[in-house]
Amino acid sequence: MVDMMEVTIRTEYIKLGDLLKFSGLAHTGGEAKEMVQAGICDVDGEQCTMRGRKIRPGMKVRVNFEDESVDIEVKNA
Q: What is the CATH number of domain 2-76?
A: 3.10.290.10
Residue-level pLDDT at 1: 75
Residue-level pLDDT at 50: 96
pTM of the model as a whole: 0.93
The 3-class SS string of the chain reads CEEEEEEEECCCCEEHHHHHHHCCCCCCHHHHHHHHHCCCEEECCEECCCCCCEECCCCEEEEECCCCEEEEEEEEC
Percent of the chain with pLDDT over 90: 96
